């Protein structure tokens, strides 16, 4: 995902790194390009409240040589995910570019609301996209049920209107510290289950889980407890097919790159693919 500079677009990781190094270091980094800045450890720069979908995934993919989008990736039902790091978005252009769905950051932990959510959410709906909200999990800051309540109260609610997707629990490599947030595998399972149960009680919907195979297998101990309940949104920046976390039979959505380009969005944006037809996407939205 990306944010902006007067002279060139930077990834959020690069932008935060430049801010941390001060004006002189920022100027030098801009002159030299963004590659060296992007190599900085995101854990050193991403603070609570500033996380975005894929912030922890980026740590897992630091050694990736290429994140290009192959022809197979851009076929089928396409979507994006965004947060305030994308800045102002022209959702009409996004829709015109062939994007059918979008999930956008609403909340993080129990204290942070995304500054662009209240603009993005209705604007995407008005443009005709099927859209939903996501919550960036901070399991080390409060319980799963408390974070589910905060999410529902601040954008994560659901209605059957053909255009509202179930909410997403974004649970991935901690971009601000220890990979598993200091929780044991049993504690993490309990946390996720508490979030799931509370979200379902409040909305009647199964929450979608966004994660990577590596994080899930490591931090939940390859838990199969969500496989029959929660649709999987897998993050794996590759071509071909994604690696699936243990226990999940398949993926419902796949985030295949953090370096996509879409009309209406300045700079890079995460691109996603839905595993099925647009009719099935509407069915997911309407719980039918």
Q: Judge contact between 235 and 213, C-beta under 8 A.
A: no
Alpha-carbon distance 113 to 105, whole Å? 8
What SS3 state is found at 229?
Answer: coil
Q: Judge contact between 246 and 280, C-beta under 8 A.
A: no
Alpha-carbon distance 242 to 79, whole Å? 16
HSE-up of 189 (CA within 13 Å, CB side)?
13
Alpha-carbon distance 35 to 57, whole Å? 18
Catalytic option among 50, 100, 108, 172:
172
CA distances from 64 to 37, 59, 82, 284 (A): 16, 10, 22, 32
Q: Which of 174, 154, 43 is nearest to 104 (CA)?
A: 154
Catalytic option among 50, 73, 114, 170:
170
CA distances from 15 to 86, 165, 173 (A): 12, 31, 20
DSSP annotation of 176: T
Cβ neighbours, 10 Å, residue 105? 29
Alpha-carbon distance 247 to 245, whole Å? 6
Q: Is 114 a residue of the active site? A: no
Q: Is 161 a residue of the active site? A: no
Catalytic option among 50, 60, 81, 258:
81
Annotated catalytic residues are: 81, 170, 172
């Amino acid at each position: 995902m990306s944010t902006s500079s007067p002279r060139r677009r930077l990834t959020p990781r690069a932008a935060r790194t430049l801010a941390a190094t001060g004006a002189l270091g920022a100027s030098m980094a801009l002159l030299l390009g963004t590659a060296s800045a992007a190599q900085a450890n995101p854990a050193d720069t991403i603070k609570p409240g500033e996380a975005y979908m894929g912030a922890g995934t980026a740590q897992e993919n630091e050694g990736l040589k290429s994140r290009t989008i192959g022809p197979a990736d851009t076929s089928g039902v396409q979507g994006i995910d965004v947060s305030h790091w994308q800045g102002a978005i022209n959702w009409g252009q996004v829709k015109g570019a062939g994007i059918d769905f979008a999930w956008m950051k609403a909340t993080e932990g129990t204290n942070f609301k995304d500054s662009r959510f209240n603009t993005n959410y209705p604007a995407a709906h008005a443009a005709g996209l099927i859209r939903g909200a996501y919550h960036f999990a901070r399991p080390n800051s409060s319980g799963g049920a408390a974070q589910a309540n905060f999410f529902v109260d601040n954008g994560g609610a659901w209605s059957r209107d053909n255009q509202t997707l179930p909410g997403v629990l974004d649970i991935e490599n901690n971009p601000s510290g220890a990979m598993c947030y200091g929780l044991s595998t049993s504690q993490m399972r309990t946390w996720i289950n508490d979030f799931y149960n509370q979200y379902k009680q409040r909305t009647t919907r199964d929450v979608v889980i966004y994660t990577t195979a590596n994080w899930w297998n490591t931090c939940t101990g390859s838990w199969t407890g969500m496989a029959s309940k929660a649709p999987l949104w897998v993050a794996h920046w590759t071509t071909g097919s994604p690696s699936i976390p243990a226990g999940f039979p398949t993926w419902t959505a796949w985030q295949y790159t953090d370096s996509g380009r879409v009309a209406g969005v300045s700079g890079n944006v995460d691109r996603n693919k839905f595993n099925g037809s647009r009719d099935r996407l509407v069915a997911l939205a309407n719980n039918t």
